[in-house]
Amino acid sequence: MMLTERPLRLLCFVLLVLSASFAGACRQKEQEQREAFIGFLETDILAATNTDSVRMSDEVRKKVGNYGRHFDVIAAYAKELRDIDARLAGEKSRIAAYGSVSMDKLGSEQARIGQIVAAFSRSAQHIDAVKVRADVARAALRQPEDVQAAFDKAYAKEISGYAAASQALYAVQKDFYAAALRMGAFLEKHREKIQFRNRTVSIDEQALLHEYNILQQSLQEKSQKMQAALAAGRIVPR
């Protein structure tokens, strides 16, 4: 049966109305998902403190729709960064399981101290590598301006900020152990001219004493910086 011109126009009008209604419903749903995602970022990520994990519940994931995949970029790389910290802490504890080292044994512990310095260097390289991959994944996301504004802040906190704070913390600790390594090498090299009495060092030769004092001052300064950094904790607003 052939449609007349008038019924055909009526059918096209109905289809146009249905299409517009469907498009409007899609826009409404996307708007709701967008608002839910922004609210999640602002409340659960940006305002959160004292938590070591970055997660999204199944309930929230249903509300934000496809924006859950955007958050997965933050969550995945945040976990990688924290895993690097955890591995470093374990490695450092294993290497330094003997505890603090007295000055008279500092020279004989150069191998272990050197391993700790190397561990910090490796972890710093791993942090950089994760940050590069995270930045690539972040750049691939296409987001509305309001989502991008909230997402960038969350990314800066959990990825950029965390990575920078880790590197800063690694640097002061590595500097201390490197200074201890230099002191150990000095003590080992001049062991026959140095006397250790009740955790104190006695050096009669003036030139050697001057060199020791310089190394000791550097070691104390770097120790103070390290202790201050550790006391302050990671410079991330969590």
The pLDDT tens digits of the residues spanning 115-136 come to 999 999 999 999 999 999 999 9
89 lies in some domain = yes
7 lies in some domain = no
- Report the candidate in 229, 125, 108 with the shortest Cα–Cα distance to residue 180: 108
Structure tokens at 89: 């802490």
- Report the candidate in 34, 104, 102, 97 with the shortest Cα–Cα distance to residue 71: 34
- Residue 40 main-chain phi, psi, to 5 deg: -65, -45
163 lies in some domain = yes
Domain range for 46 is: 14-232
**199 pLDDT above the threshold of 90:** no
Res 107: pLDDT:
80
Res 5: pLDDT:
53
d(CA 105, CA 218) in angstroms, rounded, equals: 19
3 lies in some domain = no
d(CA 169, CA 176) in angstroms, rounded, equals: 11
CA-to-CA dists, residue 59 to 56, 63, 73, 91, angstroms = 8, 7, 19, 37
Q: Residue 178: which pLDDT band, with cuts at 50, 70 and 90?
A: very high
Please state the domain count of the chain.
1
204 lies in some domain = yes
What average pLDDT does the chain have? 84
- Report the candidate in 42, 24, 44 with the shortest Cα–Cα distance to residue 32: 24
Q: Which residue has the tokens 């199944």?
A: 58
As a whole number, mean pLDDT of residues 85-109 equals 79
* pTM recorded for the entire structure: 0.80
Q: Are 16 and 25 in contact (CB under 8 A)?
A: no
46 lies in some domain = yes
Res 238: pLDDT:
38
35 lies in some domain = yes
Q: At 195, which amino acid appears?
A: Q
d(CA 115, CA 70) in angstroms, rounded, equals: 38
Res 26: pLDDT:
54
96 lies in some domain = yes
